[in-house]
Amino acid sequence: MKYKELPTFPKDFFWGASSAAWQVEGATKEDGRSPAIIDLNSQTKKPYADNSVAADHYHHYKEDVALMKECGFTSYRFSLSWSRLIPAEDRKINPKGLEFYNNLINELIAAGITPIITLYHYDMPCWVDEKCGGWRNRSIIEEFDYYCRVCFENFGDRVKYWLSINEQNMQIVYGDWLGVSKGCTDWFKDKWKINHIMNLCHAKAVIACHELVEGGKIGPVPGYVPIYPETCKPEDQIAAMNAEELTQKIWDDLYVFREYNSFTKNYWKEHDIDPDIRPGDMELIEQAKIDFIAVNCYRSDVGKAPDNSYKQEIGLNKTGKKGEFVYPNLPGEYALARNPFVEVTDWDWHIDATCMRYSLRYLWDHYHLPMVITEAGFGGHEDLGEDGKIHDEERINYLREYAFNIGLAIQDGVEVFGFNPWSFTDLLSTGNGMAKRYGLVFVNTTDDDARDLTRHKKDSFTWYSKLIKSNGKDWGTDMTAWQDFQKNK
């Protein structure tokens, strides 16, 4: 639909940004924090830096929150480090970890910024991994429930928006790369047992939040990548639908409807997969009624009929050099391909702002739940210029177009209550260290040199501040999205 007016945002719309503890905090060996499995995983990503320093938010949080306030933030989505709060098997709460998060939460609230907290963002404590065998053993359910209750009991008086598990779907789809598959003998089949255990942990978090947090709301955080069919060839359409199911819809349906859909059950039957669903499991999941969906949406993909002569499970670009992305191909299911109608980042991620509107429309049509954007962003190579600044026009264009398409989705009738792109400061990328920067604020450090970790506002910081303070009315001088929309591009 074409609209005569620019999009408008609700007056209480959350504007902010996002981060994750292991990618931003650093201080991995300080004040009682014990190692997490993602610490070890980050050490395998050489030549990129590990997460021992990252953006050093642990020591700079007051400065960072002051910058958020200056930018005009009304929300900040971040995660808690399980191993900073509960560093050992004895389950004793680390007072220094508790103090840090209390200080951060209080600093945010004093600045008029609403905290939105992710309970789990890839950083299982190593002691939990050793005791329970990671996600492979159901004993982790009790440990996760205890951790969640510690969080709700200590922070729930001030924090009312909670997220359960970040991108559970991506942890299964990219399990080898993220280290989730460690200890599995047959990942193709074992991942569905792990996924079921994670679903039970998600359910425990939802139930505990509603039990312990007065006025608390909680939702999942799927990584959403809409899949367009490459052509109108029927086989490409079915392949795109298969890709949607096997990379995201299976998870979304479970969160909302609290049961496994028929596609999932038939897929398990066809491939002789036993997800180890035990008596009482589905009754537990049935109790976990979510309040909203948090959406991580950076890009779209293109699906096509697979080549059945070879198999390539996941697609990654590990170098940051355009053209090195290896597209996945799953015989009998789907393949992904380059979309020639949009540009790509240095990591070959499609730059497609329309995918944000598409995703929100799709999710609203299927689930009719409020949504908040918890990740979307432009990753690029950057360093301070001779003038001591970062002129990140590509990021401004990306954020403008994506925010505009959120506005269009709201005009379409979708209920969206916030935009928290990735990320506020530069921080450690999941697989590309400090080389892949997303921040509105430049952090002066590199993979090779910690430098002085000073903060420098990028041009995108100034642009985003104007958009926030106008509540989505000041789009800047280059209103490409509106012009393209008017042309019905």
The residues assigned a catalytic role are 167, 375
122 and 177 Cβ atoms separated by less than 8 Å: no
- Label residue 248 exposed, middle or buried (CB < 10 Å: 0-12, 13-18, 19+): buried
**Region for 18 from its dihedrals, namely left if φ exceeds 0, alpha if ψ lies in -120 to 50, beta otherwise:** beta
Q: What is the DSSP letter of 184?
A: -
| CA separation, residue 458 to residues 67, 101, 424 (Å) | 12, 27, 11
Strand residues in 38-136 grouped as ranges (E)? 75-79, 114-120
Contact 453, 443 (CB under 8 A): yes
Closest by CA to 225, choosing from 339, 367, 121, 317, is 339
Structure tokens at 379: 């990753």
Please, are residues 124 and 82 in contact by the beta-carbon 8 Å criterion?
yes
For the record, the structure tokens of 353 come out as: 């702002």
Count other C-beta atoms under 10 Å from residue 413's C-beta.
Answer: 10
Cα separations in angstroms, 341 against 239, 359, 486: 20, 18, 18
> Could you tell me where the beta strands, DSSP code E, fall in 422-480?
441-443, 455-457
Q: Identify the three-state secondary structure at position 436.
A: coil
- 14 close to 113: Cβ distance less than 8 angstroms: no
- Enter the tokens of residue 169: 């779907």
Q: What angle do CA 341, 344, 347 make, to 5 degrees?
A: 150
Q: What residue type is 171 in one-letter code?
A: Q
Two tokens, residue 10: 């609700």
Smallest CA-to-CA distance from 424 within 436, 408, 448, 441 is with 441
For the chain, what's the residue count? 489
Tell me the DSSP string of 53-80: TTT-HHHHHHHHHHHHHHHT-SEEEEE-
